[in-house]
Structure 1
């Protein structure tokens, strides 16, 4: 019991640090926030912060909710539903659940404008690609193939498009509701361009 309570406390502290960092990054931008400010916002010491994360960049990419949601959407999609459609539905649901309606702007303010994070973002997309490739291969019951890897690349492209500087520029000046509608339409159109056999689908031979 003591071990369980200790682990729960550690997880709460870790999540508090992630939440504090995300909030500060989105308010002021990654480069303008210090490790000390993140620790203070999470009510812990800087020493404690470094017990959980090696660097501020590690904190920036600690939230795994997006890839976890995409993987769950792929794994749980009905037979006959393409991976592209399932991915689009996950992204659209996340947009609809964003009560502020400014997720794209917050992402770019917090992460997209920092040159120091660009290599980290590339590693993030590569990690997404690897995880989606593994999920599609699992569903197909085969080792990863070039076709499966290509499909994963296409799915990651939908995610990258939704968070791209071009998407941000396209919604500049729109209301949050208009911006959300535009991005949802863009995601649906992108998913529709991915045609051909779905190598990860349970219905795929």
Structure 2
């Protein structure tokens, strides 16, 4: 069981993230300052930096989607291609989130400040999926496994692409087709 101190830290961390997400959704990432986030979370700027190294970390600190994708790949039924598992996780995530991808784009949009963080995040997704696929195959990672992981991450990345942003109603249709685009 977690100590009271650890529970309080988790509550403070979540409060800071919630305040940041709300402000980013209202005004956009580039228009929100760290001081405003700290104020909205009822903490000092110094305290905010105890929990997050930078404003960018507020965007990329949550690994929930990555964890869900890897778990979905690992838990899929025999014969179900990994691409179908990825699409199913994304469909479920899109249905759960308030505002879904529209809120994501309003909050983070095309912020140049986030570009390098997004590239690092996609690389982390790729590495974790390579580990999972190699473990399933009972082998060390191979170039073929890496390529497959890149394709699976491509499905995730496409859900936040300008092409789907311009056609949000097409997301479910595209995700229904996506597994056929990636060899399972």
Aligned to 1:110: 107
SS in 2 for 1:95: helix
- Return 5+ residue gaps in structure 2 as ranges: none
Query: Can you list the C-alpha shifts for 1:36-74, whole angstroms capped at 9, x where unaligned?
Result: 111112111111000011110111111211111111111
Q: Where do 4+ consecutive residues of structure 1 move more than 2 Å?
A: none
Q: Judge conservation of contact 1:167–1:183 (CA < 8 Å) in 2.
A: yes
**Aligned pairs for 1:161-176 within 5 A:** 161-171=158-168
- Cα displacement string for residues 1-23 of structure 1 (whole angstroms, at most 9, x for unaligned residues): 8x711111111111111121112
**2-side partners of 1:136 and 1:15: how far apart?**
31
Deviation of residue 192 (structure 1)? 1.4
Could you tell me which residue of structure 2 aligns to residue 151 of structure 1? 148
The alignment of Structure 1 onto Structure 2 pairs a total of residues equal to 184
Q: TM-score, normalised by structure 2?
A: 0.94
Kept after mapping to 2: 8 A contact 1:29/1:113:
no
- Contact 1:24 1:38 (C-alpha < 8 Å) held by counterparts: yes
Cα offset for 1:113? 2.1
- Residue number in structure 1 paired with 2:135: 138
Would you say 1:194 and 2:174 are equivalent positions?
Answer: no
CA contact (8 A) 1:88 1:188 kept: yes
What TM-score results when the alignment is normalised by the length of structure 1?
Answer: 0.85
Cα RMSD after superposing both structures:
1.4
1:124 counterpart residue number: 121
Residue ranges of structure 1 left out of the alignment (5+ in a row): 172-178, 199-205
